[in-house]
Chains A and B, each alone.
Chain A
Amino acid sequence: MIPDTVYGAILLSIIDFFLSFVVIAGIGVILALFPYLNRLGEIDEKKLREGGH
């Protein structure tokens, strides 16, 4: 897909660096929504530990 040349290396780097930013930003957006999960309820950590094995 990417030519085995210096041009290919530069192309690969630019695409990869740009896409990494986009994907990481996407993960950031999803994490920003995490506090809304707490509207579903609360987990009792003490009970969780009691049920441990």
Chain B
Amino acid sequence: MFDQVLFFFHALLQQTGAANFTWGNLVMIAIGGTMIYLAIAKHYEPLLLIGIGFSCIVANVPGPPDVPGGPPVSALLYVVKEGGLFHYAYEGVAKLIIPPLIFLGVGAMTDFGPMIANPKLVILGAGAHLGIFVALILAKLCGFTINEAGAIGIIGGADGPMAIFVTVKLAPHLLGPISVAAYSYMALMPMIQPPVMRLLTNSRERKIEMAQLRKVTKLEKIAFPAVIAIIVNLFFPPVAPLITMLMLGNLLKEVGVTERLAKTAGGALMNVIIIILTVAIGSTMAADKFLTWDTILIVGLGLLAFLFGTASGVITAKIMNLFMKTKINPLIGSAGIASVPIAARVSHIVANQENPHNHLIFHAMGPNLAGVFGTAISGGIMLALLGVQ
């Protein structure tokens, strides 16, 4: 009788995930929990971190083996398996359906006025991308292939959809860790960037107040998406799908006669896409796949890319100041790292802490938006040089 009860309990235990729990699962659950904590307590990009953190936790709760004697499969991974709802969510990412739709939504929510108003500052959109190339070279030194190194480097562009896009083209097997690194660091930029920004500037520089931007007319705002779409499609066909959708979204917003479409693209559709994207990314964070040497290297290189990108943006702004009559606040340089509008917000906050009367957000949005194009251009050139269509 007792033996039968023991046997029964043993069989029951095998049907649960408790027997398959590893220290790696515990580490990843702690990482997921930290993400949720930062989103709730620190308000660090909750739209991204809540979904990624939660699905990271669930992806690390082991279930019973899929087949007798096989490896344990998490509850979430059951849903991710072919036929499961989030399998198709991940396919949407892997088959590059979701990144252009994100750009459509971003375009519909974004006012490119600050970028049009101060064209001098668009150069910061290129200056802040040194991190891409530092990470690329270091990744190659670490033994990755040049295609893999290119995909790792693009994390430094701080542009999630572009990182996914370039990775799928160059090294699709690295999509999981690269998208996790890109989105996690984007969300953690309020922690990553300020120390570098403060290190490279003095108090006097951080207090610089910038003159008010000129008013950009409706005609300019309507012409902008068409002009940029033509340039990108003409010279950078590899990344044209993303920028074209970004510009379509922006045109829907600016023309004024398609308000419904703009609201849907930037509202309901964007929200659906964010839910799918964050769960798809978080579900790749199972310990057995994530806690590998390569992934840890990628995450480390991604952090370096962000640090160097921030630094090079600030330094580019300081170099520009050597030649400009009216000085710019070098803190807006770090906003050239893309990641709209997080990086611009960080520039504003750091400047505001130094001088409470300094409202840098609109000035920082110019380089921030230029950074989106900077990443796209870098990605497009990289794909072209590596012979990838």
Contacts and interface: CB of A to CB of B under 8 A. Distances in A.
Is A bound to B?
A: yes
Interface of A: 1-6, 8-10, 12-17, 19-21, 23-25, 27-32, 34-35, 37-38, 40-43, 45, 48-49, 51-53
Contact of A53 (B140, B141, B260): B260
Contacts of B140: 5-6, 8-9
Contact of B257 (A3, A27, A52): A52
- Grouping DSSP codes into helix (H, G, I), strand (E, B) and loop, the B interface class, with mixed when no group exceeds half, is helix
Nearest to B144: A9
B374 interface: yes
B137 A9 contact: yes
A20 B374 contact: yes
A37 B385 contact: no
Given A17-B129, A20-B374, A23-B377, A2 B220 contact: no
A15 B137 contact: no
B228 A9 contact: no
B220 A34 contact: yes
Contacts of A21: 123, 126-127
B386 A24 contact: no
B122 A31 contact: yes
Interface string B103-133: 0000000000001100110110111011011
Interface stretch (B33-41, B145-153, B273-281): B145-153
A49 B125 contact: no
A42 B146 CA distance: 50
B82 interface: no
Contacts of B115: 31
Contact of B256 (A12, A37, A48): A48
Contacts of A6: 137, 140-141
A5 B146 CA distance: 7
Task: Please list the 10 inter-chain residue pairs (A to B) with the smallest Cβ-Cβ separation, ordered nearest first.
Answer: A48-B256, A13-B133, A9-B140, A31-B119, A24-B126, A28-B122, A43-B218, A28-B119, A20-B126, A32-B119
